[in-house]
Every structure is written in structure tokens, then in C-alpha cells.
């Protein structure tokens, strides 16, 4: 059997682990930190023109100041639908309308809400760790099959260490991202 048949696709494992990190960053972006961010309205879908449309496709989302998000709705007939979608989204923000501009004042977070958000962030981080460990498990299963197919004990150990170090590096990235997000949430 050729040595190429016995190798593990580390690029695929790294890509999948990076995918878990990307998903984590996207989930973190949706968490409200008391600071205005255009990404906080990304998950909001508006019933526009007969289908659910992302809010950034019906208007321009801006952050003119640290505690304000504005949405300049392009079609005046959609202003009330955008306003309704924001109220029903669970963001906990009451929109204020001025013509075609919808203003979203971001209220100050209280201590209890900040602690709750840090717990949510920790849950998101744990989901990312689990996803990374699942990729590691897949890599280890590939190694078992390669060993059964004739990979030497030394080569197997080298590949095993490589997969483990990749996993450890990605878990460390998740921990660092969580630490940063929790500090951001707790910052007054």
C-alpha cells in the first residue's frame, strides 16, 4: 500500500476546526454587550415582498454612536414591517421611527443581565469545543483505520500528536475568544 493512502487529511481537519471557530465568532457577534453593533440586527428577518428577508437587504444599518443603531429603510412601505420584526426578534430593544429611519437605542445592561450574557457566551464556547473535539475524534478514527491498513506505530504516534496539538490550539483559541467576550460584556 502506498504511504499516501495511510496519511490523514490534516487540512480538512483544520478547516473543520476553523469552521467551528467561525461559527463561535458569529454567535458571539449576536450577543448584546451594551455597545451598539450592526451585527446585532443581522439575525432579524423581515417579511418583505412575500418572503423573509435579512434586515440589511431592506435598509442600510449604521452605528452613528456607541449606544445607537439606525436602519435607513429604502422602501417606505416596509418601515412598519421592519419595526415589527425588531420588536418580535427578542433583542429587547424598542425601535423609534422617524420617517424611513428606525433608531434603536441600546439600553445600559444591568449586572444581572451581564452575568446572564456571560453564561450564554460560555455555552456558545462549549458548543464550539464539542465541535472541535468531534473533529478530533474523526481524525483519531482515520488514524485507527490507517494503522489497521499498515501504518507503522511511529507514524501513527506522529500523526496522533499532530491531531492532538491542532485540537489543543483550537481549544485555546476558543478559550481566548470566550475570555475576551466575557470581559467585553462585563465592561461598564
Q: Are residues 65 and 43 in the same domain?
A: yes
Tell me: the pLDDT tens digits for 48-62?
Answer: 888 888 888 999 999
Regions in the chain scoring below 50 on pLDDT = 1-4
DSSP 86-124: HHHTTS----EEETTEEEEE-PPPPHHHHHHHHHHHHHH
Q: Are residues 68 and 9 in the same domain?
A: no
Q: Are residues 162 and 119 in the same domain?
A: yes
Q: What is the CATH number of the domain that holds 176?
A: 1.10.132.20
- Output 159-162 pairs: Cβ under 8 A, ≥24 positions apart: 159/7, 159/8, 162/8, 162/10
Tell me: the pLDDT tens digits for 72-104?
Answer: 999 899 999 999 988 887 677 889 999 989 998
Nearest CA-CA partner of 92 in 72, 73, 106: 106
Residue 163: Cβ within 10 Å count: 21
User: What pLDDT score does 33 carry?
Assistant: 67
Amino acid at each position: 500500500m502506498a504511504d499516501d493512502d495511510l496519511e490523514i487529511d490534516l487540512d480538512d481537519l483544520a478547516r473543520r476546526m476553523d469552521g467551528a471557530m467561525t461559527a463561535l465568532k458569529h454567535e458571539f457577534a449576536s450577543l448584546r454587550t451594551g455597545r451598539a453593533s450592526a451585527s446585532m440586527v443581522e439575525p432579524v428577518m423581515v417579511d418583505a415582498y412575500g418572503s423573509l428577508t435579512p434586515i440589511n437587504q431592506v435598509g442600510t444599518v449604521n452605528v452613528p454612536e456607541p449606544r445607537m443603531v439606525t436602519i435607513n429603510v429604502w422602501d417606505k412601505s416596509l418601515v412598519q414591517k421592519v419595526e415589527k420584526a425588531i420588536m418580535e426578534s427578542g433583542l429587547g430593544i424598542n425601535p423609534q421611527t422617524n420617517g424611513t429611519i428606525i433608531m434603536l437605542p441600546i439600553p445600559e445592561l444591568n449586572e444581572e443581565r451581564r452575568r446572564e450574557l456571560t453564561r450564554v457566551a460560555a455555552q456558545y464556547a462549549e458548543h464550539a469545543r464539542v465541535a472541535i473535539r468531534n473533529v478530533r475524534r474523526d481524525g483519531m478514527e482515520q488514524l485507527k483505520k490507517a494503522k489497521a491498513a499498515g501504518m507503522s506505530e511511529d507514524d501513527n504516534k506522529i500523526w496522533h500528536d499532530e491531531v492532538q496539538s491542532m485540537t489543543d490550539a483550537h481549544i485555546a483559541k476558543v478559550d481566548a475568544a470566550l475570555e475576551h467576550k466575557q470581559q467585553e460584556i462585563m465592561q461598564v
